[in-house]
Amino acid sequence: MQKESSKTLRLMMPQWQGGNNELYPIGAELLAWLAPESDASVARVEVEPFHRDDTPEEGISHRTVLLKQLKEARALIDAERPDKIAVFGGDCLVEQAPFSYLNEKYNGELGVLWIDSHPDVKTTKDFTNAHTMVLGNLLGEGDPQFAAEVRLPLSPQKVMYAGLREAGLTEQESEVIDRLGLKIASPEALQQDSAPVLDWIAENNIRYLAIHLDLDVLDPATFRSVLFAEPEPEIDWLKMYPAGKMTFAQVTRLITDVAEHTDVVGMGIAEHLPWDAAHLKNALSKFPVLS
């Protein structure tokens, strides 16, 4: 659809503390490098170097620094007052400040398409990694301290999952989704076309949309820069969580289809874990002449 001229902000947030993985920062930097060139303003949330102490603070690892970075992100956005925001993360928690801002800007009418293999509605009773709670926070649930930073919670009817595998949901996740009535389009439902999501947009008259793309929605057999493709992992992630089942072609089709039916004002990409680049970097540091 035709879009009026507007101000776009690119938010760089190489945050790792929400998921406790040292590759999130390089993943975020690569996303920004790979993205098309733009004349949009750029703001960066500075993030401290990775360290392995993730002792929970009141149930969340790195709670203090994550709250600090959340508030810094919001301050940067408020200073720019953009109409649209592109986010390069980092773990999924990077979406909280920009999506919260956009919902306020568009008077609570923001729709959110959450393209992810996980629902991100956990609480501190279920997990210590804050990136698993971000959508819950945006809906006014999740962790109370983080949710308090959301001035206008999302309307549940304006939130839809794409690519989520219901068979892998926990009892707690299913309870939240069912109670709030959050819509789901599984990978199978989106295999041939984008109809379930386009119907949701039409039924709820969604004029403004923010899209969260967690790259782990992609099948690790075809895209290797995700958690589930980690070479020789210490933890068998596939036994704990469902891996993504979508292809790049399906995700690209879905996003371009929805952009023809509503005004996409937010786009966040997160959870980029470039294992091959990281292993190559480590090897190069040990080679003669180079080091």
Query: Taking the domain 8-284, which CATH number applies?
Result: 3.40.800.10
Whole-angstrom CA distances from 176 to 114, 119, 179, 212 are: 15, 10, 5, 19
**Domain segments of the chain: what residues?**
8-284
Q: What is the pLDDT of residues 216-230, one digit of tens each?
A: 999 999 999 999 998
- Prediction pTM value: 0.96
C-alpha to C-alpha distance for 219 and 86, rounded to whole angstroms? 24
CA dist., res. 79 & res. 254, Å (int) = 32
Residue 195 pLDDT > 60, yes or no? Answer: yes
Q: Residues 45, 89: contact at Cβ < 8 Å? A: no
- Of 60, 65, 217, nearest to 123 (Cα)? 60
The enclosing H or E element of 98 equals helix 96-105
Question: How confident is the prediction for the chain on average, in pLDDT?
Answer: 95
The 10s digit of each residue's pLDDT in 249-283 is 999 999 999 999 999 999 999 999 999 998 898 89
